[in-house]
Amino acid sequence: MITRIVTPSESGKRLHRYIRSLMPNYPLGQIYKMIDQGKVKVNGKRKKDTYELTAGDELTIWIEEETFKEAAIGAVDKKVKFAGVISKIDVVYEDAELLVVNKPAGLLTHPDQTEQKDTLITRVHAYLHKKEELDSRMFLPATANRLDRNTSGLVLVGKTAGMLHQLNDLIRKRELDKLYMTVVEGTVAEGGTVDARLIRDERGNRTRVVKDGAAAAGSGREQEEKDAVTRYKPIQAGRGYTLIEVELISGRTHQIRTHMQSIGHPLLGDVKYGGKPFEDVRHQLLHAWKIVLADGRTFTAPLPTLFRSVLRKTGIDFDLSK
């Protein structure tokens, strides 16, 4: 059995063409036959050969490993190139199946139209390749969670198909705790919960709270409404700002940024969602600092230098290590 996770750059490719890119030496007729016989599944379900894949789809192919290796000869050199790719990453934890990485702000988690080569996942692949632990013909390690470019902190990587499936299952069942630190405008006197449905406008790259049962007008390419719950509690207030800890009960794109704006406390520097620049900080000051797995394993990442500098300048005396 071979497992692959579709990357954003591969999104939109039809199923039979995607498999052909993995197995260039395998007859196309045999690929169609595999799909028809249910030996290829997407997210556990049978699909037609014309199905258009989307980023995050989990593809499973039932085929002998040796047969796959022979069919994939030449594909690796074309798909995975490590010359010049940064392999240095901030490893928080690693074992044979799981890798936990501390992503810096400013780095994309996955490739997109603006950057294909230098992203967190390409650095992870280069890191594992350097350790001779990567065989992309069999399985390409992938992230279970994703952070925005300018959000720093913990990202979980499944080094094996089994671990990636476990992590995705934990996230889907909400059996994994994700905690963030951020600085918001204004004084937050007490904690609370924001339970507000969100809708995503991909063309405008914005997320909005659905008010009164209907979303505001957008670009016409909004996705379906999704439930979203965010819990927050103040840690310490400073001069016009508050350091808060946020727990994501659900995980939607730009959820924290949108929810905090909706209650009148946009994130410091988050000009996209109503925040004001702070000196040279013109992006959200948001850090995924803690993840707790269902088995009790806990991972933490220290606050970045920029984050600590902003805290000092806003009069907030806080040490995450306490």
Ranges in the chain annotated CATH 3.10.290.10:
1-79
**pLDDT, position 215:** 46
Reported in sequence order, the residue ranges of the chain that DSSP labels E, i.e. its strands, are 2-5, 40-42, 45-46, 58-61, 91-94, 98-103, 142-143, 152-158, 177-185, 192-195, 198-201, 206-209, 229-237, 241-248, 286-292, 298-300
The confidence score (pLDDT) of residue 105 equals 96
* Span 1-79 CATH architecture: Roll (3.10)
Catalytic residue among 57, 148, 201, 270: 148
What's the pLDDT score for residue 78?
42
Query: Smallest Cα–Cα separation from 21: which of 74, 61, 59?
Result: 74
Query: Could you give the CA distance from residue 65 to residue 70 in angstroms, rounded to a whole number?
Result: 9
The upper half-sphere exposure of residue 72, i.e. CA atoms within 13 Å in the direction of its Cβ, equals: 20
Topology (CATH) of 177-313: Pseudouridine synthase (3.30.2350)
Contact yes or no for 312/278 (Cβ under 8 A) = no
Please report the DSSP string for 245-297 in residue order: EEEESS--TTHHHHHHHHTT-PBTT-GGGTPPPBTTB-S--EEEEEEE-TTS-
Looking at residue 214, what is its pLDDT? Answer: 53
Give the pLDDT score at 270. 95
What span, in angstroms and rounded, lies between the C-alpha atoms of 273 and 218?
15
Read off the tokens for 81.
Answer: 């190139």
Task: Output the pTM of the full model.
Answer: 0.76
Q: What is the pLDDT of residue 318?
A: 84
Kindly report, as residue ranges, where domains of CATH 3.30.2350.10 are found in the chain. 82-173, 177-313
Quote the CA–CA distance of 77 and 84 in Å, as a whole number. Answer: 14
Answer whether 215's CB lies under 8 Å from 225's CB: yes
Spans in the chain with pLDDT lower than 70: 8-9, 73-81, 115-116, 136-138, 212-224, 321-322
Q: Which 8-state DSSP code applies to residue 215?
A: P
Is 95 among the residues known to form the active site? no
Extract the tokens encoding 119: 């992203």
Q: Does CATH place domain 82-173 in 3.30.2350.10?
A: yes
**How far, in Å, CA of 148 to CA of 251, rounded?**
12
